[in-house]
Amino acid sequence: MNFIILLITFILMEGATWFIHKYIMHGLLWVLHHDHHDHSTEGPFEKNDYFFVIFALPAIALIYFGSINHYNYLFYIGLAITFYGIA
């Protein structure tokens, strides 16, 4: 069952990331994302790089709370989000 949770979450992440990119990153959080498109930032990092942290925090929280609760479904959802980020 845990593998099924992991697999389904991994697949659903494709739709979630499309929605987040289209409506959040190009909408509410455009202030962080715009330098990814216009390359206006000098140096090795862009404001857009904050999204790595923003997206990692829920995955870390899910892994943590799932692991302290006997590796329940939250752990596997967080793991799937992490795997999607790596992929």
Residue-wise pLDDT for 46-66, tens only, equals 888 888 899 899 999 999 999
pTM for the whole structure: 0.84
Predicted pLDDT of residue 37: 87
Predicted pLDDT of residue 48: 87
Predicted pLDDT of residue 42: 81
Give me the chain's average pLDDT, please. 93
Q: Which of 10, 3, 8, 24 is nearest to 59 (CA)?
A: 10
Q: What is the pLDDT of residues 4-18, one digit of tens each?
A: 999 999 999 999 999
